[in-house]
């Protein structure tokens, strides 16, 4: 079911500062900021030869990232995103196996313009998992 790692997401309290650190200190190529109101975040992607790192900050007071940063004020790893060939088939197989899909269970469009779903971290050893159809 799982394909390659698409990205690892890091929640940050200040996206501009995090972008500057990755670009200036680490010498990384970083995308322009992208607001995703339906997900309550603003994101940038650090491009790497084998995957990406997503830096995300809250967009609005109701952002799920705001709650994460209250518990982790310096930021930290938020989720890992795996690619899947068919997100609906993956969802159905996971639900049949007892995994919980967050939200209403229907995919939303993610930062790459592709359908995504999130899986409950309690079902995967404390790690929030995002699936992205490729």
Residue of 54, 83, 130, 132 marked catalytic: 130
Task: Report yes or no: 82 and 131 within 8 Å, Cβ to Cβ.
Answer: yes
Output the CA–CA distances (angstroms, integers) from residue 83 to 45, 59, 90, 100, 130, in the order listed: 16, 25, 10, 18, 9
Measured CA angle at 108 (ends 32, 57), to 5 deg: 40
State yes or no: is 57 an active-site residue.
no
Rounded CA separation 60/89 (Å): 33
List residues with catalytic annotation: 130
């Amino acid at each position: 079911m799982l394909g390659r790692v698409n990205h690892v997401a890091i929640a940050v309290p200040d996206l501009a500062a995090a972008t500057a650190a990755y670009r200036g200190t680490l010498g990384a190529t970083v995308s322009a900021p992208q607001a995703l109101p339906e997900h309550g975040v603003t994101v940038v992607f650090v491009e790497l030869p084998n995957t990406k790192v997503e830096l995300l900050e809250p967009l609005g007071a109701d952002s799920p990232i705001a709650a994460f940063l209250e518990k982790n004020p310096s930021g930290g790893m938020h989720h890992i995103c795996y690619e899947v060939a068919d997100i609906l088939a993956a969802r159905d197989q996971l639900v049949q196996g007892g995994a919980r899909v967050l939200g209403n269970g229907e995919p939303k469009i993610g930062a790459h313009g592709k359908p995504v779903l999130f899986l409950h971290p309690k079902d995967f050893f404390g790690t929030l998992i995002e699936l992205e159809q490729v």
